[in-house]
Amino acid sequence: MPYDPSVFPAFAVTVDLVVLTVRRHSLCALAVRRGEAPFKGRWALPGGFVRADEDLAAAAARELAEETGLLAHDPTLPVPPNAAHLEQLATYGDPKRDPRMRVVSVAHLALAPDLPAPRAGGDAHSVRWAPVGSLLDQDGAFGRDSDLAAPLAFDHARILADGVERARSKIEYSSLATAFCPQEFTVGELRRVYEAVWGVALDPRNFHRKVTGTPGFLVPTGGTTTRQGGRPAQLFRAGGATLLNPPMLRPEV
């Protein structure tokens, strides 16, 4: 039976991406500048329409690859070098969220390590990493004159806030924080991820005891590095565990 608009209303379905990374000690999200109305010239989350024969996760992975060159990471396979964690976040379907027509957006959350290389296939003026605080604070650090001070297009501020909150809570009880790290990383680098995502300072000694004592979280590779300065630090890779037991606890409010 083909789609018959006389029986059920027709919807357009999109995927929008909250792509998070940690750069220079702060949590950043990928934003693209809109080239068309509505919200022309405003910043928005990357996204696009789901194709007629495409699964939602496939559409999200395709958009992610187009914007960043990152591959979505299938948890059952070994982690390729430029893989990102990708999961469904939530779906937004307010009838008025897009002034043009009825659009339902299935938002996805992607967590990526800091990308040293520029992104593939996007010009630098229309794609950028921005600290989530400045994207969510409407009169934020950039002041009213900056184009970054304008709120995100559509309901993307809400979607971004939901994605950030998901990331903040999920690194508590899962090993997802390692998705922000390169394949090999130190305990200190992992701690800076937690500090950036939660926006708090953590005690390095207790953090070290905790993560090295949680079974399956980290496996030592044997190597060391001094790329953070100071005493050489052991390198680790993410262990097999996805759920942390005991969990990492976010400090009191």
Partner DNA sequence: CTGATTATCGTCAGGCAGACGACTATGATC
Partner DNA sequence: GATCATAGTCGTCTGCCTGACGATAATCAG
Contacting residues toward a copy of itself, per CB under 8 A:
1-3, 5, 8-13, 49-56, 88, 90-95, 100-102, 104, 106
Binding mask 206-245 for DNA (x = CB under 7 A): x-xxx-xx----------x-x-xxxxxxx-----------
Q: Report d(CA 25, CA 148) in Å as an integer.
A: 20
Q: Report d(CA 109, CA 210) in Å as an integer.
A: 27
Other CB atoms within 10 A of residue 186 CB: 22
Task: Verify binding: residue 126, DNA, rule CB under 7 A.
Answer: no
- Please choose, from the candidates 161, 27, 186, 188, the residue with its C-alpha nearest in 3D space to the C-alpha of residue 92: 161
- Please choose, from the candidates 248, 78, 77, the residue with its C-alpha nearest in 3D space to the C-alpha of residue 169: 248
- Bridge partner list, 130: 29
Using CB under 7 A, which residues numbered 85 to 124 contact DNA?
none
Other CB atoms within 10 A of residue 34 CB: 17
Binding residues with DNA: total (CB under 7 A): 26
**Measured from the CB of residue 86, what is the shortest distance to a copy of itself in angstroms?**
14
Quick one: tokens of 121?
Answer: 């296939």
**Measured from the CB of residue 220, what is the shortest distance to a copy of itself in angstroms?**
26
Q: Given the complex with a copy of itself, which of 37 and 117 has the nearer CB atom? A: 37
From 2-10, 30-38, 53-61, 197-205, span contacting DNA (CB under 7 A): 197-205
**Measured from the CB of residue 173, what is the shortest distance to a copy of itself in angstroms?**
9
Using CB under 7 A, which residues numbered 6 to 45 contact DNA?
none
Look at the alpha carbons of 195, 162, 142, 115 in this order and tell me if their dihedral is positive or negative: positive
Residues in the chain, how many? 253
- Please choose, from the candidates 170, 148, 160, the residue with its C-alpha nearest in 3D space to the C-alpha of residue 92: 160
Quick one: tokens of 27?
Answer: 């949590």
**Measured from the CB of residue 160, what is the shortest distance to a copy of itself in angstroms?**
17
From 16-24, 102-110, 164-172, 200-208, span contacting DNA (CB under 7 A): 200-208
Partner in contact with 206, chosen from a copy of itself, DNA, none, beta carbon below 5 to 8 Å by kind? DNA
**Measured from the CB of residue 192, what is the shortest distance to DNA in angstroms?**
8
SS3 state of residue 197: helix
Binding positions for DNA, rule: CB under 7 A: 186-189, 191, 203-206, 208-210, 212-213, 224, 226, 228-234, 246, 249, 251
